[in-house]
Structure 1
């Protein structure tokens, strides 16, 4: 009874940019906002309070079931008002490791509040290629009641880097929404969808271009379609010209959701042999569209891909194997379709919004 009464005081969620930018963490944050609002409404709790550090007021949608406030450049105001709000809440969710110091300030203002941190991937790997662990973070992280990690891979890397006990972590996978799959006819397209920022070299789109060059040499007809925009596009286009496959690599840039659905409908398979995925939500999206997938072996994506059942995991440095798996899926459309459907069924059974909400409810229920 005491736990219910404490929770009834309310929930606070602190996040970085959430509605003002497009990206995996931003979509995750929006899903957290929606799930917390539903959970609070279902249980008769007060409306959850959401403080978004970097968004501005114009970014915020009208959500009657949640009190959302954007702070833009007013960082001190964000900290002060979050600390004040924490005094009327029993649970504080932190959307990013960068908000850990603010969480500790809130803990000082409300010593009985429970702290939960969401972690997504390379921001907690202590990898200099992406983000170094701050010297103060391991000590601060010991104040957390739970760390909700999108994958076991990310949880294990953070646990070792931060020297944290395993019992602090809970697996909290990402999710996607149901779709109405568009009918289409495969034209032997290999699809990849990724941001092409400079720090996204770990997506290893260059490996796909090299594999396409091998397939061209072996007279395997195919086209690699790259959806995404960023500084890496010029570098990758130069590689395609260098390997004489510029006619087999299409850079489609940013596309609308409707446009992307049409591109998925015309694809034979989805491939992204990344080495930097903290989870791999793009593979869930590809499966919903009925595509088999090829992921990398060096990150969290290999956790969700069942080898030979709904996709293949390939070392991104092994261009020969990558090309061979791509050729196999292109040559056997029946097998590819069956693998895509196996993936789609997996998504429907465990990676939709209702599962995301249920997993969040479990974390809330077990907080001490």
Structure 2
């Protein structure tokens, strides 16, 4: 986008839940809003316009740097007002694939507007276990100028399913906030942090519980601590009971930020051998707390983690290897600490807010 045009550029961002409930996509949306506001302020552009479909007005923070409006249950109002706002905008960012039809309506109303879609993971994999691709979406996706994907893994899965040209995609990793503390590990705990909803079965927390049974038989002293809440909790608790490792598996539920930081400080390593990560932001957070991480080999996490350097990648179906990798990190605290430091260095060089903002600026700058 040429500078003379950019000075008058209007930016519209359409999102689903953003401030009204916790979650990875919600935090991502908040970062997009903050980055767009900062970019617009630095370049002297108009304030970005933010329309959030599901949040209520009480959820929205007071800010003068972005014009944020929440629509709650007023879906038709959301669509109509977004189409009207598009008339005065050069770029429309879509926060989720479910908003693609609204984006197309905006494009029909304002044909010159550029559409950019953020994609996060399983919502665009066309995997029936998570979300099937709608029959109309591949055709609608042709209207997109760019698709900003949090990982190459997710971009590849979407390209295969939607038949979108490879040149449409741009890598746009997630980010975390740095922490002002010295990481320290004071225990032999294994920590995992995940929502335990029905659709999160692919986090493979049950594999960790099965690994705990092997570690118990081998007299490896450790405790698995699970942070998170959801319908899978009772099922996982039953598995721990069945395997006679209740005393080695602690369910902490949903915790405060302070309690979570304490759990990190009491852990030796972080493990989540997932097969459904579109990126794996929990690994970045663990690294900042000085922990090595164990991830799965079947999703985007293996793209983020360098096996043997800042963590270990394990097939979630191989419980023997999973248990062996956990035991190795417990037995070699110096190695675990070195991996944690390497991970923290990676986060601070690639995955902080300044990187997120810079990548967003690049996408905006290259739009014709």
TM-score normalised according to structure 1 size: 0.99
The residue number in structure 1 matching 2:215 is 215
> Could you say what secondary structure the match of 2:138 adopts?
helix
The residue number in structure 2 matching 1:361 is 361
Would you identify which runs of 4 or more consecutive aligned residues in structure 1 move more than 3 Å?
1-4, 182-185
Question: Pairwise mapping of residues 129-278 of structure 1 onto structure 2 (< 5 A)?
Answer: 129-181=129-181, 184-278=184-278
Q: What's the Cα RMSD here?
A: 1.0
1:291-334 CA-partner distances (Å, limit 9, x unpaired): 00000000000001001000000000000000000000000000
Aligned length: 368
Structure 1: where are the runs of 5+ without partners? none
Change (3 A) 1:10 1:105: same
The residue number in structure 1 matching 2:64 is 64
Contact 2:7 2:43 in 1 (8 A): no
> Could you say what secondary structure the match of 1:73 adopts?
coil
The residue number in structure 2 matching 1:300 is 300
Contact 1:182 1:262 in 2 (8 A): no
Structure 2: where are the runs of 5+ without partners? none
Q: Offset of 1:187 from its aligned partner?
A: 1.4
1:96-128 CA-partner distances (Å, limit 9, x unpaired): 000000000000111100000000000000000
> Could you say what secondary structure the match of 1:34 adopts?
helix
Change (3 A) 1:125 1:185: closer
Rounded to whole Å, the distance in 2 between the matches of 1:131 and 1:48 is 30
Contact 2:175 2:353 in 1 (8 A): yes
Q: Offset of 1:184 from its aligned partner?
A: 4.3
Rounded to whole Å, the distance in 2 between the matches of 1:4 and 1:76 is 35
Rounded to whole Å, the distance in 2 between the matches of 1:298 and 1:8 is 44
> Could you say what secondary structure the match of 1:247 adopts?
helix
TM-score normalised according to structure 2 size: 0.99
The residue number in structure 2 matching 1:31 is 31
Contact 2:190 2:271 in 1 (8 A): yes
Contact 2:177 2:352 in 1 (8 A): yes
Change (3 A) 1:186 1:2: closer
Rounded to whole Å, the distance in 1 between the matches of 2:272 and 2:111 is 44
> Could you say what secondary structure the match of 1:321 adopts?
helix
Contact 2:185 2:264 in 1 (8 A): no
The residue number in structure 1 matching 2:280 is 280
The residue number in structure 2 matching 1:345 is 345
Do residues 99 (structure 1) and 99 (structure 2) align? Answer: yes
Q: Offset of 1:193 from its aligned partner?
A: 0.0
Change (3 A) 1:196 1:126: same
Deviates further, 80-89 or 5-14 = 5-14
